Amino acid sequence: MQLKEVSAIVTGGASGLGLAVANRIVHAGGKAAIFDLSVPQGSAAAAALGERAGFFAVDVSDEAAVDSAVTQAKARMGSVNAAINCAGIATPGRLVGRNGPMTGSSFRRMIEINLLGTVLVAKAAAVAMQGNSPNAQGERGVIVMTASVAAFDGQIGQIAYSASKGGIVGMTLPMARELASSGIRVMTVAPGLFATPMMKGLPQEAQDSLGRQTPFPPRLGEPDEFAALVVQILENVMLNGETIRLDGAVRMQPR
């Protein structure tokens, strides 16, 4: 798939990893529909990217809202042939902590936003993609999901987060197998320690300390490096049904 032909939905596209992806796509001549909860950030991001970008205020855990937004995005862009899922939360919490045990509602919220939200967007996007005419390679669309290294080596306090991201890894292959007959590819990226807005909110000393945990390069990853991999996934038709760790060889310690 050539970037200039991409009409992508990017969840969490108002900042961080998602914004970097939208920026890459738009500046290569493609189109991007930014899905995010933050109206001020989303509107500003779309305005900065120009006429080939649009913003839609969407709660990805709300099925009706997702379906409606995908329909609107398709109408605005003419088609949807890519969906990049970057929306998510990472609230830490122990199973049994100093303030008591984890509540079911806090665990459920993590699953609903990170895992269910990814499923709802992927499902709605796949429906839209199935109506596309196949390109020269026979593909109608690409779905990219965002997991985390926590899916493989989650730390203490990441039970809910690791469960949500592990679910994304687990559904990558079966989703790719199911959608293959429609010419739709499915891939997942599992980032390590990246300079997202949440990470940048930490003191610089803490950011530097976390960055040094990565063997090489010994720093936090940049959102544009994540976006570069997403671009390669969109362009390389042989990438399908796999999770790629983008982590500088880091393996997270227990705490």
- CATH number of the domain that residue 59 is part of: 3.40.50.720
**Is 30 inside any structural domain?**
yes
Instruction: At 209, list the tokens.
Output: 């300390």
Is 155 a residue of the active site? no
Q: What separation in angstroms does the CA of 130 have from each of 9, 26, 85, 175, 227? A: 15, 23, 18, 14, 25
Query: By the 8 A CB rule, do 12 and 35 touch?
Result: yes
Amino acid 130: pLDDT: 98
> With a cut of 70, which residues of the chain have pLDDT below it?
none
**Is 189 inside any structural domain?**
yes
**Is 249 inside any structural domain?**
no
Amino acid 128: pLDDT: 98
Give me the number of domains the chain comprises.
Answer: 1
Amino acid 198: pLDDT: 78
**Is 124 inside any structural domain?**
yes
**Is 64 inside any structural domain?**
yes
Amino acid 12: pLDDT: 97
Q: pTM above 0.75?
A: yes
**Is 169 inside any structural domain?**
yes
83-114: string of b/e by CB count within 10 Å (b at 16+)?
Answer: bbbbbbebeebeeeeeeeebeeeebebbbbbb
Domain of 20 in residue numbering reads as 3-193+224-242
Q: Phi/psi at 245 (nearest 5 deg)?
A: -80, 125
Active-site entry in 35, 55, 56, 161: 161
**Is 236 inside any structural domain?**
yes
DSSP, collapsed to helix, strand or coil, labels residue 19 as helix
Amino acid 81: pLDDT: 98
**Is 120 inside any structural domain?**
yes
